[in-house]
Structure 1
Amino acid sequence: MSEMLERERDRAADWFRELRDRIVAAFEGLETQAPPERLADTAPGHFEVTKTTRSADDGSDAGGGLMSVMRGGRVFEKVGVNISTVHGTLGEAAISSMAARGVPGIEEDPSFWASGISLVAHMQNPHAPAVHMNTRMFWTPNAWWFGGGADLNPAIEYEEDTAHFHAEMRAACDGHGDDLYPRFKAWADEYFFIPHRKRARGVGGIFYDDLNTGDWEADFAFTRSVGSAFLPAFLPLAEKRRKADWTDEDRAAQLAHRGLYAEYNLVYDRGTKFGLATGHDPNAVLMSLPPVATWH
């Protein structure tokens, strides 16, 4: 590996940590604002931070990260913001998957390095949408790429919320190419679809993977734009909807929608499969699951 690429990997990992710090501060700040009356006796939530580790098959250190989870707050019923930087050798399932995607040389040398941030928020108020965001960089000896995106998952949809979220995602994309938002929106619509339910898990957003144009700086800049768009896209919605009154029927709709979210993440999500297959901390990998959900 070239010295230049080592610096690039460090820059990517440092930026994911910086984004994590910004989001954690913003979410804890939202928690300290005056809550709706029905949660007035609830203390503001704070993140519990735990170091995560990954061990290689021989027991040696293979990296790790930080798992930051807030539970039972005024605004967030459960939210996790994880970062990790891991390395090692891919297992057979991951090798086969990447070979099928056309990753060059992965069968000859399955060494890898990966770093990223992953966020999932499940809200107290059923009118406030759940949300997911992640950005990451992946390296093998013969290839590197970026991936990520963000998607909104309301139990009770508001068209203006959907429009705002998508407008911010479009703005993040448009500075890097007019074709990116339509392409990555369509990819999100396809990726975040639940085949056995024949429906989407939410109202979409953007999703991209295997991004390598040959210009590392340009691809990293785009990934930073996507990550930086998250707070402007989501925070105004959380601020607005946390104040709404809700009924038992609203709560029931929220819990049923969470069941859909859990089904998708356990059955289809690529990141969940990769994390469990490569031996990362299962608590961190499964952080995305809601605290309470229902199925009919």
Structure 2
Amino acid sequence: MTDDMQDQKTRAADWFRKLRDDIVQAFHDIEARHVGEEEAGRFVVSNTTRTAPDGSDAGGGEMSVMRGGRVFEKVGVNISTVYGELGERAQAAMAARKGLPGMAEDPRFWASGISLVAHMQNPHVPAVHMNTRMFWTPHAWWFGGGADLNPCIEYDEDTDHFHAEMKAACDPHGATLYDELKAWADEYFYIPHRKRARGVGGIFYDDRNSGDWEADFALTQDVGRAFLPAYVPVVDKRREIPWDMDDKDVQLRHRGIYAEYNLVYDRGTKFGLETGHDPDAVLMSLPPMAKWV
């Protein structure tokens, strides 16, 4: 494995930025449809940084966050491109999980991706998560990502629609791929201490290296493109349903479970904090308000 992948790295990072721009615009348009352009929630964009242990620059990214929108209570669409050397704990975890020899001798890495989490005002509108990413070391490259729906008040037709769009994204890449990635999501987004799933699932994959970079990048792009068709119709269908404080209580309790998962089990949270990325960007996924018994 050589490090002559600069063109592929640039293409991947540019794609994640374009996807961010498309999603931010689509979410603003939802706000405008709901209350008009003047009252629509706005995204605030801020830079994030990652600092290496020796104090040197190690990349960063951009947070695009809307707080207090009329449809979106809090939504973040982050992009980042970070690089440097993995610390000993990250080296050991990666070597164990991915079976990469030589990490201790050459611990360089590069990673770029997009990460999105939306928490909604109306309890009838589901929260959602999506991310796609590319990771490189001198020993291997791989892609990962997925999307999953997290309703506190479930509608079977919304779940069916979301999964149908995810399946449509997967089908060109293999007849059994959707089933494999759905099962992976069901396992990954399970909360052992609650003995329940985080939401109604979706798809998830990691360590994706078929040996064909173009094919794996194409899958990652299709997963990213599928997100808006999977989610926007659900938001538009549910955003005007009346709700009361009992509904809000259900939502806040569900958010507590969501927060538990992200803080205890989520790989991205652990990796971001352990490698020195901006903690505000890493913890962007947490809801603005939650409730526990």
Q: TM-score, normalised by structure 1?
A: 0.96
The share of aligned pairs that are identical, in percent, is 73
2:79 equivalent in structure 1: 83
What is the distance in 1 between the residues matched to 2:125 and 2:251? 10
What is the distance in 1 between the residues matched to 2:247 and 2:104? 50
Deviations 1:145-196 (A, max 9, x none): 0000000000000000000000000000001101110001000000000000
Matches within 5 A, 1:207-222: 207-222=204-219
State yes or no: 1:163 paired with 2:160: yes
2:125 equivalent in structure 1: 128
What is the distance in 1 between the residues matched to 2:93 and 2:175? 30
State yes or no: 1:258 paired with 2:228: no
Verify the 8 A CA contact 1:104 1:143 in the aligned structure 2.
Answer: no
* Cα displacement (A) at 1:57: 1.2
Verify the 8 A CA contact 1:118 1:133 in the aligned structure 2.
Answer: yes
The runs of 5 or more residues in structure 1 that have no matched partner are none
What is the distance in 2 between the residues matched to 1:109 and 1:153? 39
What is the distance in 2 between the residues matched to 1:179 and 1:277? 35
* Cα displacement (A) at 1:107: 2.4
Q: Which runs of 4+ in 1 moved over 6 A?
A: none
State yes or no: 1:55 paired with 2:54: no
Matches within 5 A, 1:1-296: 5-35=5-35, 43-101=39-97, 102-296=99-293
Secondary structure at 1:58's aligned position in 2? coil
What is the distance in 1 between the residues matched to 2:2 and 2:200? 42
What is the distance in 2 between the residues matched to 1:183 and 1:116? 22
What is the distance in 2 between the residues matched to 1:106 and 1:13? 24
Verify the 8 A CA contact 2:126 2:150 in the aligned structure 1.
Answer: yes
Verify the 8 A CA contact 1:172 1:229 in the aligned structure 2.
Answer: yes
* Cα displacement (A) at 1:3: 7.6
Verify the 8 A CA contact 2:185 2:204 in the aligned structure 1.
Answer: yes
The AA in structure 2 aligned to 1:115 is S
* Cα displacement (A) at 1:34: 3.1
Deviations 1:196-245 (A, max 9, x none): 00000100000000000000000000000000000000000111110100
* Cα displacement (A) at 1:28: 0.7
RMSD of aligned alpha carbons: 1.3
Verify the 8 A CA contact 2:34 2:71 in the aligned structure 1.
Answer: no
Secondary structure at 2:173's aligned position in 1? coil
What is the distance in 2 between the residues matched to 1:281 and 1:265? 16
Q: TM-score, normalised by structure 2?
A: 0.97
* Cα displacement (A) at 1:274: 0.1
